[in-house]
Structures are given as structure tokens and as C-alpha cells.
Structure 1
């Protein structure tokens, strides 16, 4: 009986509806995320979050496409690399190369849907699974350190923070994914104009498909803007 009651309480805690936070939290966290994305000194450390999700997007898509995942590397300059084995061309490789840049925006859309449905605990659980899943596949020391720190922060917020702090974190990470998922596309195109980043995801897609790299940047941008627009309606209206 005690075990059954405990399981029921855990299920309710994870999947039951949480109290809707004050509207001020939604607006303040949106403004804070926008500030973080536009201020270079804040964006650089925050960009690590975007990189983790970017590389996780590559990794998950590679597995779903039937490729063999070799590992993920996260670097101190906020770049990352996901290696997989399989055919060097074809739909699976195209899907894997494409998945990185839209991943933060798509995850932000998922989080916005969870927040709109008052499922903050599920959002925190997804964050924990993302960190743990990425940690298993990390193949360099900096990447391990980065994910251990991220996991420690997440653990502290999930277990020791008040409901309002947890809600603030949930909304902040959601806005950061939605807004921060767009800035790397602009950064990439600026690098490409200077003749750099010729091995970027967009350039790999250009070689794989024949469509120009700028087309793929534009498509990723449209996806990101679409996710931001839908999420804003869910969270603000």
C-alpha cells in the first residue's frame, strides 16, 4: 500500500497540473532571455545551452535515421561536434545534418506547450533526460564538465528551489531556446560571408542536396521564427 501510494504521488507530481505562475514571470523571463541573447558578455556562456541542444538534435536524429552514433564533443568556444557512422550521403545523412540548428527552437516549442498545459515538472524531467543522454555520449573533458555543471544546476532547482523559482527557470530556459536558437544562424551567415565555416551544417547540406547553403539557413530561420511565434501565442495570450 505504501509503495503504491508513493508511486501515485510521484506520478501526480510529474504529470499533474502545476499552478499557473503570475503573468509577470512570463514577461520578465522573456525580457531577460532577450537581454541575454543580445548582450555578448551574457550570450557567450548561455550559448553553451544552445550548443548542447544543437548537438543532441544531431545525435537523436542520427539514431532515428539508423546511423551509428560515435559520440558528441562540446568545446570551450561554444562550438560542438557530433560524429556518427553510416552512409556518407542519402536521406539519413541529410536529416542528421539538418537537425542541429532547428533543434533548440523545436525543443523551445515543446517546452512552451508543456508550460501552457501547466506541466512544469515534465519540462524539468525532459531537461534532466537531455543532460543525462548527452552525458553518456560525450567524448571530451570540457563537454563532461559542462554537462555535470548543467546537471548540478538542474538538480538544485528541481529539488531545492521554490515553485516560483522553478517556474521562472522553466520560462527562462524556454524563451532562451526560442530566441537563442535564432542568433547562431546570423552568426553562421556572417562567418560564411568572410569565407569561414565552410564545413558548417548548411554547407554540408549544400554538398549533400545541391541546394545552396543560404537556402538551408533560410529554412532553419523560418522554422525558428515559426516556433517563436506559436510559442509566444501560447505563453502570452
Structure 2
């Protein structure tokens, strides 16, 4: 008798998977580190961080009652999220503040879910978030970037073995956890060089009493804290 593939997917989402062998966890960490540390790979993998960054802006805008006007992702790995509402106030502050912590918090949530034996649920949740983000993209490169990312996650979620799915979930979580501090470091370097004066930190400096440098410090603390918590969870969840 033929089985319903969607029923099988639902079963895999709602059930727990065996813990990944420590060797494979280490391999996932090496892959994630390479994607962040090697310039040739980082110039491409950083697009994934931008997707999470701009998505976090969008979620914060909607959560605070602002109207999301669209998201653009650019080939130079920059992005732009437009929302309508009061130009000042808590909603605008939270929207501006969400970008840099976004990848770190997504990585932390993915690490917790993966460590709890739910890597398939993590992958399908990411796929759902990418599908929702796709509805807000307003430029061709952004559509292409989100579609490619979504296609990769779908392929692993649909056709990959349980071990491969767990490996990709581990690598993806570690990548975001490692990438988040690097983007904050890039922000600090850019500001020190006299560039990036329209960054999230500078926008927040105009909206709040804290200077831009203090906001860079907040971003760094959140990203490093998420890295420590996420890495600890993944290590504890391995066999």
C-alpha cells in the first residue's frame, strides 16, 4: 500500500531523531567555521545572514504594529527593510534593534531544537519562515537568494536521510551562531573607518540616549551570549 509522503513528513517533524555522533557534530562545526572564516566562502554564505538579519527587522516591525512595506536583498550582501509607522518610539527602536541579534537568536533557537532531537522540525520551520519572507521581497536578487536558500532546505528536508538532516541542522545553527559575531565585528570596523554611519547602531543612536558604540556593544553581547548557549546545547545534545 502506498504511503502518504506528507504523513511521513509530519511524523518526522513531530518525532525525535537519535542524537548525532560527536564526530559528525564536530564535522558540522568545521563546515560552519569554514563558511564564516574563509573569505571565498563568506562572500557567499553571508547572504544567509542578511536574510536572517532583514527577516528579524520585518518580524519586529510586524510585532510592534508597524506596517511592513517590503524587504530588499542586494548582491553585495547588504539589505533593506522598509516599514511604515511612527518614525520614533518603542516600535521603531525595537525594529531597528532586531537586525544584528536576529541571526544569533535564530541560530540559538535552531541549536536548542536540534539538541532536543528535533532537527527535522527545525528545517521545516526554517522553510516556512523563508516562504513567509518571500512574500515580502521586493527585488529580483532577493527573490533569487531566498528561493535558492529555500530550495536547499527543502531538498534536505524532503530527500535527505535522517543523519543528513541532523547534520545540516547542526551546521546551519552553528553557522548562524558563528556568523552573528562576525557581522557585528564588521560593523565596528566599518564605523571605525568612518563608514556605516547609516547603520542600525547609528539609527538607534538617533532614536535613543545610547550612543552608536554602545549599541554595537549590545549587539556583540547578544551574539556572543547566543554563541555560548547554542554551542553548549549542541555539545550536550550529542552522544
Please report the RMSD computed on the Cα atoms of aligned residues, expressed in angstroms: 1.7
- Residue matched to 1:197: 196
Q: Contact conserved, 2:170 with 2:234, CA < 8 A, in 1?
A: no
Alignment of 1:71-90 (within 5 A): 71-90=70-89
Write out per-residue CA displacement over residues 125-181 of structure 1, whole angstroms, 9 at most, x where no aligned residue: 111012101110000000001111112111211111222221111111100000001
Q: Contact conserved, 2:53 with 2:99, CA < 8 A, in 1?
A: yes
- Residue matched to 2:100: 101
Shift of the 7–40 alpha-carbon distance from structure 1 to 2, 3 Å rule, reads closer
* Structure 1 residue 210 corresponds to structure 2 residue 189: no
Moved more, 66-75 or 226-235: 226-235
Moved more, 33-42 or 139-148: 33-42
Partner Cα separation in structure 2 for residue 130 and residue 49 of structure 1: 13
Partner Cα separation in structure 1 for residue 55 and residue 146 of structure 2: 12
Partner Cα separation in structure 2 for residue 226 and residue 100 of structure 1: 16
Shift of the 203–90 alpha-carbon distance from structure 1 to 2, 3 Å rule, reads same
Q: Contact conserved, 2:17 with 2:162, CA < 8 A, in 1?
A: no
SS of equivalent residue, structure 1 residue 182: helix
- Residue matched to 1:153: 152
Alignment of 1:124-135 (within 5 A): 124-135=123-134
Q: Contact conserved, 2:71 with 2:81, CA < 8 A, in 1?
A: yes
Unmatched runs of 5 consecutive residues or more in structure 1: none
Partner Cα separation in structure 2 for residue 144 and residue 221 of structure 1: 29
Following TM superposition, by how much is the alpha carbon of 1:210 offset from its aligned partner in structure 2, in angstroms? 2.3
SS of equivalent residue, structure 2 residue 198: coil
Q: Alignment length, in residue pairs?
A: 235
Q: Contact conserved, 2:32 with 2:174, CA < 8 A, in 1?
A: yes
Following TM superposition, by how much is the alpha carbon of 1:216 offset from its aligned partner in structure 2, in angstroms? 0.6
Following TM superposition, by how much is the alpha carbon of 1:11 offset from its aligned partner in structure 2, in angstroms? 3.9
- Residue matched to 1:175: 174
Moved more, 62-71 or 225-234: 225-234
- Residue matched to 2:121: 122
- Residue matched to 1:39: 38
- Residue matched to 1:18: 17
Partner Cα separation in structure 1 for residue 231 and residue 150 of structure 2: 27
Following TM superposition, by how much is the alpha carbon of 1:7 offset from its aligned partner in structure 2, in angstroms? 7.9
TM, length-normalised to structure 1: 0.95
Write out per-residue CA displacement over residues 47-94 of structure 1, whole angstroms, 9 at most, x where no aligned residue: 000000000000000000000000000000000000000000000000
Partner Cα separation in structure 2 for residue 7 and residue 70 of structure 1: 34
Unmatched runs of 5 consecutive residues or more in structure 2: none
Partner Cα separation in structure 1 for residue 226 and residue 114 of structure 2: 14
SS of equivalent residue, structure 1 residue 198: coil
Following TM superposition, by how much is the alpha carbon of 1:10 offset from its aligned partner in structure 2, in angstroms? 4.8
Moved more, 141-150 or 70-79: 141-150
